[in-house]
Structure 1
Amino acid sequence: MIIDQSEDILLLTNAGMEVEFVSQSMEKILEIPVAKSMGKKINQVLDNFPSLPLMKPNQKMVIPVTTPKTKKRLLIEFEFKPQYTPTGSVQAIIAIGRNVTERENSLKKFKDTAFKEKELNQLKSRFVSMASHEFRTPLATILSSALLIEMLLQKDFGPEIKAKIINHVEKIVAQTNRLTDITSDVLLLEKSIQTEMKVSLKRIRIGKFVEDLVDTINRESFERRTVKFTMADGDTTVMTDPSLLTHIFRNLILNALKYSEGALDPEVYLHLRGSYFEVTVKDYGLGIPKEEHEQVFGSFYRAKNVGNIKGTGLGLNIVKELTKKLQGEIWFTSSLGIGSEFYVSFPVK
């Protein structure tokens, strides 16, 4: 009576792990009839029980169980206590099961929170390091240019003075734009990792969309280079967020231009692959060191071989987050000194 009224589940098996006794709490908690459990091995009674044999003295394990009637998802912790004969062989095994669903869920939430907090602290640390480095140069340039303009304005305006003033104004504009880009990247990264970020799906012709974007970048004449676009399989209509897609493709294409200076022009390919479309951005530039491949999509990460090429190290991290928002995937191949190919794949819907 005491055993049957217990909140714990008690099983007794023989040495072969075949059930010889089970308490009524098995049926009450797990909705598994006692009669159907008798004579069966534990891994036949509980679907997620590991293959036998498993025994170690006083071993504990947490097993997920879905009740057959009410479809509750429970986590049951079993503790196993082997019973030995005088000669030292296993005679029977007592298994005590306890519902630890609430405990395990609380523990998981705690671990998730701790992990996110640790990740956030790392992100803050990297941002402070990046910001102190990246903000210093443009701010110094803006300040010095403003002071020089002030000095020049005190003189007569000849052609030479006018040219110098224009030069410094252009520096101020360029460095202000750089600071604006850094701030925008940080804000977009913060927004992209929020689960409630809105995705506005629209129906677009993906081929024309990518072609127009490449044409726009080419008209901007980034270092007077031309990105080549190839649409191998014709065009199709897709459901996507044009704004997020523009940021993804633009970032990848501008990276291809930025990190392949003096090399062949980058290439963009569009392929239709059944229920997915895939865009490839290929460059013939610096390439990424093999030992750094796993870190490429990390926040504030920049490869060691980029030299003096400006950047925040946020671009690819943002691209990956936005790609996930659109239920897509991103991956790449790269060889040092040869170039890189970035692939993004999205459902056509």
Structure 2
Amino acid sequence: MTSPEVSKRPLNGTCLIVVLPVVFRQEGFSWRLENPLDWDTLFGVSLKKGECDAIRRTLGEEMQLAFEKRRKSKGYTSEEGLLAAWETSVKIRSGMYWLRFCGETQWDEKGCVFRGQVQQISQFKWREKKLKTALELQKRENAIKTNFINYAVHEFKAPLATIFSSLEILNHYADRYEQEKGEVPYFSEHFRKIGKHLGIMNAFLEELVLLSSVRKNGPANSGETFFLGAFIRDLVRGLELPAMKNRNLALLLPDEDREVTLDKLLLEHILRNLISNAFKYSPGRQDPELALHIKDRSFTLFVRDYGVGIPEMEQKELFRIPYRASNAKAFTGTGMGLLIVGDFVERLGGKISFRSEEGKGTSFELEFPLEQPLFTRASK
């Protein structure tokens, strides 16, 4: 597609601001453009008479198609008061142009007439096409990334399973050695380290698959309606986290429960991750806290711990890349948790923020709409 020539009287670089009156007259079963149009103003270029005549014929045919289509879709038996809007392309020597018409049919002494407006929207259509092309390219790139991740994870899972199995056999012989010799073999500590890091690798792969699968499916589009307070209470009651070690989660819920409509699985993963981190990074400290505040159209969750905190210089890395703070090296983890949390919060239409002070703890604040924008009452 060639770009149109620029008029000697450029209209601020675009013709979107130009709106001209247009009149079509019905003659039998066809329509014709009745009023003269300032083509130079509309297109930004000067046209020859033959081009003008061809455009007028094309527009008359397009008007007839748009009129019949609109009348059938609305079930009109009369032409009076029928609203119509359509877009069409016009090709002239300087390139392809797009026009948008909108108006209403009326009756006068000569018969049925369509009175409305016409606007040149070529630049808008080109930008729209460019955005659509970029979106399709992004979708293809995301699909390639997701397929690669799934393939890579699959290829890693098999050798990891073999290593796990072999490690179990080695640990079995280490136990027998300890029973027979009455001493712990020196290599048992190495087996323990191998098992620990195998667990980290396996957890990382599982989180990678979880993140890529959700991103492949786009924004959250499946949800259910449930009572928020009851959901959180059941979730906390069923928590069995290794990092808890006989500690409890201080839970603060409002007296009155409310219904929400969103993806329960995503919300559960968010809370499990944050609560697990709260216990993991606050060993021997005050119990972590989870609080719920409900407003008219949204709800807020607060997850707070009194643990090691996040160094101020490293806080900007959270939610951006798989990252582990320098003071968290002694704790088992993959660095993927908060990246997934941030992604899931965004998919639920929420916002997340945090405050942290090294040595004093971290507090996360999450705000969500009571009903996800994609869900309506009719879909429940």
Q: Same fold, TM exceeding 0.5?
A: yes
Letter in 2 for 1:287: G
Residue 173 of structure 2 is aligned to residue 147 of structure 1:
no
| 1:218–1:227 CA contact under 8 A, matched in 2 | no
Q: What is the identity percentage for the equivalent residue pairs of Structure 1 and Structure 2?
A: 28
What residue in structure 2 maps to residue 89 of structure 1? Answer: none
Whole-angstrom CA distance in 1 between matches of 2:121 and 2:127: 12
Whole-angstrom CA distance in 2 between matches of 1:98 and 1:298: 39
* Paired residue secondary structure (1:223): coil
What residue in structure 2 maps to residue 291 of structure 1? Answer: 313
* Paired residue secondary structure (2:331): coil
Q: How does 1:187-226 map to 2 (within 5 A)?
A: 187-196=209-218, 199-217=221-239, 222-226=244-248
What residue in structure 1 maps to residue 365 of structure 2? Answer: 343
- Counterpart selection for 2:203 from 174, 181, 193: 181
| 1:276–1:348 CA contact under 8 A, matched in 2 | yes
- Counterpart selection for 1:334 from 346, 356, 361: 356
Q: CA deviation at 1:238?
A: 1.5
* Paired residue secondary structure (1:224): coil
Q: CA deviation at 1:256?
A: 0.9
Is the alpha carbon distance of 1:290 and 1:176 closer, same or farther for their aligned partners in structure 2, counting shifts above 3 Å? closer
Residue deviations 1:39-77 (CA, integer Å, cap 9, x gap):
xxxxxxxxxxxxxxxxxxxxxxxxxxxxxx9587xxx9x
Q: CA deviation at 1:102?
A: 5.5
Q: How does 1:26-41 map to 2 (within 5 A)?
A: 30-32=18-20
| 2:273–2:337 CA contact under 8 A, matched in 1 | yes
Residue deviations 1:164-213 (CA, integer Å, cap 9, x gap):
9x999998887665444222201011012124466432222211211222
Q: CA deviation at 1:161?
A: 8.7
Residue deviations 1:88-129 (CA, integer Å, cap 9, x gap):
xxxxxxxxx9944455446556766579969x98xx99xx9x
* Paired residue secondary structure (1:277): strand
* Paired residue secondary structure (2:352): strand
- Counterpart selection for 2:299 from 277, 284, 290: 277
What residue in structure 2 maps to residue 254 of structure 1? Answer: 276
Residue deviations 1:7-26 (CA, integer Å, cap 9, x gap):
5463649xxx9x9xxxxx95
Q: CA deviation at 1:30?
A: 4.9
Letter in 2 for 1:267: E
What residue in structure 2 maps to residue 325 of structure 1? Answer: 347
| 2:348–2:368 CA contact under 8 A, matched in 1 | yes
Is the alpha carbon distance of 1:271 and 1:250 closer, same or farther for their aligned partners in structure 2, counting shifts above 3 Å? same
Whole-angstrom CA distance in 2 between matches of 1:305 and 1:139: 33
Q: CA deviation at 1:304?
A: 2.5
What residue in structure 1 maps to residue 80 of structure 2? Answer: none
| 2:164–2:198 CA contact under 8 A, matched in 1 | no
Q: CA deviation at 1:247?
A: 0.6
Q: CA deviation at 1:292?
A: 2.8
- Counterpart selection for 1:10 from 4, 7, 11: 7
Whole-angstrom CA distance in 1 between matches of 2:121 and 2:256: 59
* Paired residue secondary structure (2:294): strand
Is the alpha carbon distance of 1:202 and 1:172 closer, same or farther for their aligned partners in structure 2, counting shifts above 3 Å? farther
Whole-angstrom CA distance in 2 between matches of 1:255 and 1:286: 11
Whole-angstrom CA distance in 2 between matches of 1:148 and 1:219: 25
* Paired residue secondary structure (1:213): helix
Q: How does 1:302-321 map to 2 (within 5 A)?
A: 302-321=324-343
Whole-angstrom CA distance in 1 between matches of 2:190 and 2:6: 79
Whole-angstrom CA distance in 2 between matches of 1:219 and 1:300: 22
Letter in 1 for 2:169: A
Whole-angstrom CA distance in 2 between matches of 1:310 and 1:259: 10
* Paired residue secondary structure (2:216): coil
Residues matched between the structures, number: 278
| 2:200–2:334 CA contact under 8 A, matched in 1 | no
RMSD: 5.3
Is the alpha carbon distance of 1:99 and 1:237 closer, same or farther for their aligned partners in structure 2, counting shifts above 3 Å? closer
Is the alpha carbon distance of 1:305 and 1:33 closer, same or farther for their aligned partners in structure 2, counting shifts above 3 Å? farther
TM-score (norm 2): 0.55
Letter in 2 for 1:228: A
Whole-angstrom CA distance in 2 between matches of 1:156 and 1:7: 86
Q: CA deviation at 1:158?
A: 6.3
Q: CA deviation at 1:281?
A: 0.1
Q: How does 1:130-141 map to 2 (within 5 A)?
A: none
Whole-angstrom CA distance in 2 between matches of 1:106 and 1:248: 37
